[in-house]
Amino acid sequence: MDHTAPQSPAGLSTTPSWLLNQTASHAARLLSEGFAAHDLRGYHYRLLATLAEDGPASQADLGRRCGIDRSDVVAAINDLAGRGLVVRAPDPADRRRNVISITDAGTDEARRMAATVERAQADLLAPLSGTEREQLTRLLTRLLHHHSRH
């Protein structure tokens, strides 16, 4: 499989938006391939990582924290529950809603998936030094924060 950058008009290939878009495509491919080895997707990882870090939460709260649409949260939680990675139980404070908790198997899977993310980051950023990686992360964070406020 050839992963070289596609050809583009000369001026376009030097614009930050085009470069970010092309790099994001490579990042998405690396993560997708890595998660496929777990037979899971990015939504699964985001949900497991959030539960592992922050503890049990309602489906609605998980969706908000992870930036995942409500219907997609339900489908992903169903997948994870079917694999024994999370459990869904009625909220004792409000029996109309469910609280999702991560299982020990889910915590283990979240750790394995985090290692997959780390490998994908290392692959994506291989040509950069540690200092350059930190600088890139700072700059991208600044851009994202700026545009998230608008």
Rounded Cα distance, 114 and 48, in Å: 10
What is the per-residue pLDDT for 8?
55
User: How many residues in the chain?
Assistant: 150
Q: What is the DSSP letter of 103?
A: -
Q: Mapping DSSP to helix (H, G, I), strand (E, B) and coil, where does residue 7 land?
A: coil
What is the per-residue pLDDT for 93?
82
What is the per-residue pLDDT for 149?
84
Residues 6+ apart with CB under 8 A from 112: 38
Cβ neighbours around 48 below 10 Å, total: 27
Token pair for residue 22?
């092309």
What is the per-residue pLDDT for 13?
78
Q: What is the DSSP string of 126-142?
A: TTS-HHHHHHHHHHHHH
Rounded Cα distance, 75 and 10, in Å: 43
Token pair for residue 18?
């085009």
Cβ atoms of residues 102 and 51 within 8 Å:
yes
What is the per-residue pLDDT for 121?
95
What is the per-residue pLDDT for 92?
85
Q: Where are the alpha helices (H) located in the chain, listed in sequence order?
A: 16-36, 42-54, 59-66, 70-82, 104-124, 130-148
> What string of pLDDT tens digits covers the 150 residues of the chain?
555 555 556 677 789 999 999 999 999 999 999 999 999 999 999 999 999 999 999 988 999 999 999 889 999 999 999 999 999 999 888 888 889 999 999 999 999 999 999 999 999 999 999 999 999 999 999 999 999 886
Q: Which fold has domain 24-123?
A: Arc Repressor Mutant, subunit A (1.10.10)
The structural domains of the chain, with segments of one domain joined by +, span 24-123
pTM, rounded to two decimals: 0.81
